Chain A
Amino acid sequence: MRGTTAQQDLIRGIWRENPVLVQMLGLCPALAVTNSVENSLAMGIATFFVLCCSSVLVAALKRFIPHEVRISTYILIIATFVTVADMTLEAVRPDVHKALGAFIALIVVNCMILGRQEAFASKRPIGRALLDAAGTGTGFMIALVMMGGVREVLGAGTFLGVSIFGPSYEPWVVMILPPGGFLTLGIWLLGLSWWQKRRAGDGDAAPTDAIQGGGA
C-alpha cells in the first residue's frame, strides 16, 4: 500500500480492487436495491457521497482521534453523513427514497465504508483519501449498475425505464425478485473469474490445445 501514486489511489478501487466484485464488500445493498437501474444509480450516488465525505473528514481529523475510540468515531461520522443523505434524498426525490426504503439508512453498516476509513483515510493526507474514496465509490456504482442493468433488462424488458424489446417481450419477472439478485451476482462473478482465468492462461493455453489436438 505504501508508495502508491495518486493515480493508482484513484484507479485501484474502480476495477482491480472493486469493492463488490472482487472484495465482496457491501453485498447487502448490491443485491437488495438493484432491481432497476435508477435505484442502483441512486444507491451508488448516496454511497459515493457518504464515502467521500467520511474519508475527507476522517483524514482531516486523524490527529485528534485517539486510537482507542477510532472505530466509534468513524461510525459516528458515517452515521451523520448517512442521515444527511437520507433526509436530502427524501426531500429531493421522494419516489426514489420510497423505493430504496430502509437500505439508505443501512449504508451505515456497509463494511466497505468503514473498511476504507480504517485501511486508508486514517493514515493518509486528505487529497489522497478523497481520491481513494472517489475511486472506491465509483467502483461500487459500476458494480451496482452492472447488476441493475442485467436485472432490469431481463426482468422488466427496460433500461432506465425505456423499453428495449418492445411490447411482445414477456418479462422474466424472477430477475427483479430476490432470487434474481443472488443469481445475477453469482453469474457475474462466474463470468469474471472465467475471463480472468482465460486472460491469465493465454500463455500456456496454446500448448495445451496443441497437445490435445495432437492426441486426437
Chain B
Amino acid sequence: MSGAPPSGTSAPGTPPPGTGAPAAAPPVLEEPHVPAWRLFSTLGAGGALAGLLLVFVFQLTQPAIQAHKELMLQQAVNEVLGAPERYDTLYLVDGALTPELPDGVDERTLDRVYHGFAADGVPVGFAISASRPGFQDVIRLIFGYDAATGRLLGMRVLESKETPGLGDKIEKDAAFTGQFAGCEPPLVGVKGGAGSAPNEIDTITGATISSVTVLRAINDAVAHWRPALDAYAREHAR
C-alpha cells in the first residue's frame, strides 16, 4: 500500500543496475529523482484504466445480479403469501402507504410492504420484512399478514447466523416454520409442543432465544405496520 516506505527498502533480490544477470528482467527504475508528473500520470492512467474495465464488467454482470435479486424477492413473497397471482410494492411515505414513488425521493430509503392479489383481483395480504438481533447476529425474515382477519399467512427467514444444528432450525425446520400460517399475533412462545391457541408457537428445544426472536420480530413489525395497513385497506374498500 502507499504506506510502504519510499525507495531504499526495495525488495531483496533486486539486481543492481548493470550486473547483467542472465535471467533477470531489466533493472527496476531506481533513479533518485522521478518527476512528480510521472508519478501522477502513472497513477492517473492506472486509475482511468481500472475505472473503464470496471464499468465494462459492471454493465455485463449487472443484469444477471438484478434479475437474481428480483427472483429471490419474488420467491420469498410467493412463499409467505401462498403464491399470489401478482403483487404490488407499497412505499411508506409520511405514515401512509402509496404505490407511487414521490418525486425526488430515493427509492432505497423508503420502508415498504408487498401487497399480494389472488387470480380474481381479491387482495390476499401483505408481505412484510422484519429484523431483530438474535442469539449470534441479526435475524432478517419476511412474513405474510392478512390485515382483514389479522392472521399470518406464512414466515420465511431470509438471513441468520444462528448456531448450525440448533438455532438455524428457525430457517430449516419445517415443523417450526410451518406453524406460522393461521396464527394471530401477538405471538407467544410455548415449550414442549403444548401450543394450541391461535397465538401460540412451539419454540425449538435448545434454541429458545432464536425462536423467541422470530416471534418478537413479527409482533413488533405487526404493531408498527398495523395503522398504515388498516388505513390503506379502509381507503381502498371505499
Contacts and interface: CB of A to CB of B under 8 A. Distances in A.
Contact of B65 (A2, A84, A90): A90
A203 to B, nearest CB: 32
Contact of A2 (B3, B13, B61): B13
Contact of A125 (B7, B11, B25, B164): B25
B193 to A, nearest CB: 23
Interface stretch (A69-77, A160-168, A188-196): A69-77
Interface in B148-171: 163-165
Interface stretch (A16-24, A57-65, A131-139, A208-216): A57-65
> Which of A3, A67, A88, A90 has the most chain B CB atoms inside 10 A of its CB?
A67
Contact of A76 (B21, B23, B38, B46): B46
Interface in A61-102: 62-69, 71-73, 75-77, 79-80, 83-84, 87-88, 90-92, 94
Contacts of A176: 164
Interface secondary structure of B, over-half rule: loop
A150 B50 CA distance: 39
Contacts of A4: 23
A66 B39 contact: yes
Interface secondary structure of A, over-half rule: helix
Interface residues of A, number: 42
Contacts, number: 108
Contacts of B164: 155-156, 171, 173, 176-177
Contacts of A3: 22-23
Contacts of B46: 73, 76-77
B165 A67 contact: no
A122 B25 CA distance: 9
Given A3-B23, A67-B34, A76-B43, A90 B13 contact: no
Contacts of B43: 69, 72-73, 76
A83 B4 contact: no
A2 B21 contact: yes
28 contacts: A2-B23, A4-B23, A63-B26, A66-B29, A66-B39, A72-B2, A73-B42, A73-B46, A76-B50, A80-B53, A84-B53, A84-B54, A87-B57, A87-B58, A88-B57, A91-B62, A91-B65, A114-B1, A118-B11, A123-B14, A123-B24, A123-B25, A123-B28, A125-B25, A155-B164, A171-B164, A173-B165, A177-B164
